[in-house]
Each structure stands twice: as structure tokens, then as C-alpha cells.
Amino acid sequence: MALISGFRKHLNIESLLQRVKSGFEKIESPVQTREFTLTDNLISALAMFRLKYSSLLKFDQDSCQNNTIRANMERLFGVLKMPGDTAMREILDLLDPAQLRPIFKDLLAFVQRGKILEDYRYLNGAYLISINGTGVFRSESVHCDNCCQIKHRNGKVSYFHQLLAAVIVHPAQKQVIPLAPEPIQQQDGTNKFDCELRAIKRLIADLRREHPHMKIIVQLDGLYADGQVIELLRDFNMEYIIVAKRKKLTKLFEKLDAGSQVKQHEIIDKQNIRHQFRYLEDVSLNDSWDDLKVNLIEYREVDETGKVRYYNCWITALSVTPDTLERLMRAGRARWNVENETLNTLKNQGYHFEHNYGHGHKHLTTILAMIMCLAFLIDQIELRCCEEFQAALAKEKKLSYLRIRIRSLFTEFIVPNWQSLYHHIALGNDATPIYLPDTS
Ligand SMILES: [Zn+2]
């Protein structure tokens, strides 16, 4: 079986983990301890998410009681001495979340050199970056200095943390490539939109600073169909495709309904599905932003019986013509895939995105959520690039089954390296043996 020959050697899990580890080593530790390095803490947290543990305490308990886990942590993750859960929480709580951003950037550059990113170019060589607010934690009692708060009418307070997640998507690609997320902070504002607006300002500025030459089309949901957001994107030389809602952009939809400047286009595909477009060009966003001109696209997907299967509207400044309409629509719909597949993947396929791994007093919740996103990025690259991982997946049929298998082998057998682990799953014990620990 020609697994090794086609293997993109530099993009296997060992090289990815090595890369992340050298990124972690560059971060200055907020406290000096003799027992554990900051890197041991960060890699252990990454291992916890990679092994899909739903709780830090459980991860700690298992590894304290199980020499095999500790041996495999050294072999597979390079952690010589595992920190306990309390020590890990204390040190990670003090870390500034922005210090993790360069690691995402470095992994993206690594992927770019492996020519993987080329497959994600869309519409004149640009990358579609989907940005979405995602809840990380919510509680009525547990909170920290940086929690966002909602005061309810009955006097109760809800505390929560949210991230703005940014992922590179492509209508024809199954995997997405997560970029560094931006935490939405308590100081950001008094209402949800204020908070998200300030967070998106930081995120857009960071993205442009980190990728100065990248052609970017940002996809956003209807909340962001706002003059301030569109101006911000223009200032940072980014294009946009934003969901347009009737309730928010009343004037724009009145013009569409009036029909005088409306153009129409229809595509009937091989399956007899009708893709119907109505669009307006160069119209004012709304009364407050009279000078800000956008194009509005209304889209319906109609099946053979005349039933509307999908409906959506978007605003964009990209050129809207019969030639570009379909590609713009596919780009707009790729965002729908992200919300329905990727975020569900995070929530349902073992990442436990909304679970509580510990709250801390300052940044712990955000740091752990960012490390979870990093684990997700590594998983996505591996899923796309590593033939040995793909062979193991083909054997186990489903990603969720493979994750369970990896974790059970990791906790029960001495595994020399990742490659042997995947070979063992794909080809069986005769081809690549792994060993029960010597308990004599
Ligand atoms: Zn908090």
C-alpha cells in the first residue's frame, strides 16, 4: 500500500505539532515555575482538545492514573512532564489571548507553502473569509473580569464569553481553514451590536496586518449589513458579501419591490432546478448612508414542482452581472455551509465548544477556546492533507468513530508515533504493531 509515497511529508501531524510547539515556545510565560514550562501547559491543552476530552478534570484524572497516557504524551506531543489541571488553569488564565494569534498565521503560511490554499481561491483569486459570532460559555453564576453580561428584567444576570470566528471557506471545498478568532470583550459596549462591531474592527485590522497582500472577500450575516462595517471593510481594502434582511434594509427592499431598476436572470441547471435572480446595482444602503452604494442580489432556488427550496439576499460591492451572479450566490451560500456544518462539527463531533473547561479570573475561557480552534485547524489540515489519516478514516468509516479509536489506543497502548498509530488503524496489528504497556 503506497501510503508513504503520496504523503505530503511536511504537512503531516508531526510537522504541524512541531510548528505549533515552536510558536508556543516564543510566548513569554506570565509566571516562572520550575516544574512546568508554559509550552508544556499549552501543548497539554492542545492534546486535550485533539483527543476530544470533554473536561480538563477528566483529562487530568486519566493522565494521573495512567502511565500509558503520560508515555504517549511524551512520544506524540513531546510533553515531558504533564501539568495538573489546577496549575494549567492558573498559568493559562494570565496569558494574553493575542499572543496565540501568530501561531495561526504561521500554520496558514505553512499550508500556503504546501499549495493547499490555492484550492481555496475564488472570484478573481480572492479568499472567502466567513466571520461569525460564536458562544463559548454561558452561566448565571460563574464569571470573571472579562465576562460579557446581560442584565435581565427579573434582576438576574447572565454571564457569557463569545468569539468572532473567522474561517476561509470555498463553495467546492469540504474543509474550512480557521484563522485566529477574536474575543468579544465586556468593555466593548452596552449592546450586542456594539460589542460585535468593536470586535470585528480589531479582527479586520489584525487580518489585514497579518496578511497585507491577501485578496479577501468577507462574508457576514445580516447583523453586519451596516454602513460602519462596510466602511471599515473598504478602509482595509476588503470586498464583502453580506446577508441582506428586509427588516434591516427596508429602503433597499422597497426599491427591489418597486421593480423599476430591477434586473432579472435565470439559470436552469441539468437537474431542472431553476436559479432565479433579481438584482439592483449601485443603490444607497439606507437613509443614514445615502452615499454608500451597494448591489443587492435576491436569489431563489426553485425545484421542478415550482417549490422554493432556498431563498436568500445579499449585498455586495462586487460586480453583479449575469456572468458573476451564480458564483456570487455560491459564495453567499458557502457561509450557510459553515454555520450548518462547521459550527455543528465543533459542537457535535467531539470539540465540546460550549463546555466549561474552567473559567479563571481573566483569560482562561478565551485562551482555551482559542486552543480549541487551533486543534480544529490542525484537524482540518490533517483531514485534507494526510493520506495516512485518510486511510485510517476509510477503515473506520466515520470521523467520530476514528476519534474514539484514536483516543482508546492512545490511552491503552504504547504508541511509538502518529504514523504508526494511523498505520495500525488502517492496516491492522500484523502490519504495524503497537504494544500493551509492560506492567511486569
Ligand atoms: Zn468570564
Q: What was the pLDDT predicted at 6?
A: 41
Give the CA distances from residue 69 to residues 75, 97, 166, 378, 410, in Å, rounded to whole numbers and listed in that order.
10, 28, 33, 21, 7
As a whole-number percent, the residues of the chain with pLDDT over 70 amount to 91
Domain-embedded: residue 27:
yes
Asked if the model's pLDDT at residue 265 lies above 60, the reply is yes
Asked if the model's pLDDT at residue 240 lies above 50, the reply is yes
Q: Point out the least confidently predicted range of 90-99, 333-342, 378-387, 414-423.
A: 333-342
Query: Which residues hold their Cβ within 5 A of ligand 1, which is an ion?
Result: 144, 147
pLDDT digits (tens, 9 = 90+) for 275-332: 999 999 999 999 899 999 999 999 999 999 999 999 999 999 999 999 999 999 999 9
Q: Point out the least confidently predicted range of 2-11, 144-153, 404-413.
A: 2-11
Domain-embedded: residue 353:
no
Average pLDDT over residues 192-218: 91
Is 124 in the same domain as 76?
no
The rounded Å distance from CA 365 to ligand 1 centre is 7
Asked if the model's pLDDT at residue 151 lies above 90, the reply is no
Nearest Cα to 11, choosing from 373, 376, 370, 379?
A: 379
The rounded Å distance from CA 289 to ligand 1 centre is 36
Average pLDDT over residues 417-431: 87
The rounded Å distance from CA 188 to ligand 1 centre is 14
Is 30 in the same domain as 74?
yes
Asked if the model's pLDDT at residue 349 lies above 60, the reply is no
And the C-alpha cell for 362? Answer: 481573566
Is 93 in the same domain as 144?
no
**370: exposed, middle or buried (Cβ count in 10 Å: 0-12, 13-18, 19+):** buried
Q: What was the pLDDT predicted at 189?
A: 65
Enumerate residues 6+ apart whose C-beta is below 8 A from 428.
none
Is 326 in the same domain as 195?
yes
Average pLDDT over residues 157-165: 85
Is 153 in the same domain as 31?
no
Confidence tier at 347 by pLDDT (50, 70, 90): low
Q: What was the pLDDT predicted at 143?
A: 84
Is 163 in the same domain as 235?
yes
The rounded Å distance from CA 192 to ligand 1 centre is 16
Is 131 in the same domain as 211?
yes
State the Cα–Cα distance between residues 80 and 21, nearest whole angstrom.
Answer: 13
Q: Which domain holds residue 309?
A: 116-348
Last residue of a domain, one of 348, 368, 392: 348
The rounded Å distance from CA 19 to ligand 1 centre is 30
Last residue of a domain, one of 288, 316, 348: 348
Domain-embedded: residue 72:
yes
Q: What was the pLDDT predicted at 2?
A: 37
pTM above 0.75, yes or no: yes
The rounded Å distance from CA 162 to ligand 1 centre is 10
How big is the chain, counted in residues? 440
Domain-embedded: residue 110:
no
Average pLDDT over residues 330-359: 66
Confidence tier at 263 by pLDDT (50, 70, 90): very high
Is 189 in the same domain as 319?
yes
Domain-embedded: residue 279:
yes
Helix (H) / strand (E) containing 101:
helix 101-113
Q: Mean pLDDT: which of 201-205, 287-291, 368-372 is highest?
A: 201-205
The rounded Å distance from CA 257 to ligand 1 centre is 46
Question: How many domains, in total, are found in the chain?
Answer: 2
Asked if the model's pLDDT at residue 341 lies above 70, the reply is no
Q: Are 7 and 388 in contact (CB under 8 A)?
A: yes
The rounded Å distance from CA 95 to ligand 1 centre is 14
And the C-alpha cell for 88? Answer: 494549567
The rounded Å distance from CA 359 to ligand 1 centre is 6
The rounded Å distance from CA 189 to ligand 1 centre is 16
DSSP string, 160-219: EEEEEEEEEE-TT-SS-EE---EEE-GGG-SSHHHHHHHHHHHHHHHHHHHSTT--EEEE
What b/e string do you get for 414-440 counting C-beta neighbours within 10 Å, with b at 16 or more? bbbebbbbbbbbbbeeeebebeeeeee
The rounded Å distance from CA 102 to ligand 1 centre is 24
Domain-embedded: residue 432:
no
Asked if the model's pLDDT at residue 343 lies above 60, the reply is no
Average pLDDT over residues 253-260: 93
Domain-embedded: residue 248:
yes
Is 237 in the same domain as 139?
yes
Is 364 in the same domain as 335?
no
Last residue of a domain, one of 348, 383, 411: 348
More confident residue, 230 or 385: 230
Confidence tier at 188 by pLDDT (50, 70, 90): low
Average pLDDT over residues 350-370: 78
Is 191 in the same domain as 325?
yes
The rounded Å distance from CA 364 to ligand 1 centre is 8
Q: What is the CATH number of the domain that holds 276?
A: 3.90.350.10
Is 152 in the same domain as 286?
yes
Domain-embedded: residue 437:
no
Q: Point out the least confidently predicted range of 31-40, 44-53, 315-324.
A: 31-40
The rounded Å distance from CA 394 to ligand 1 centre is 41
The rounded Å distance from CA 142 to ligand 1 centre is 7
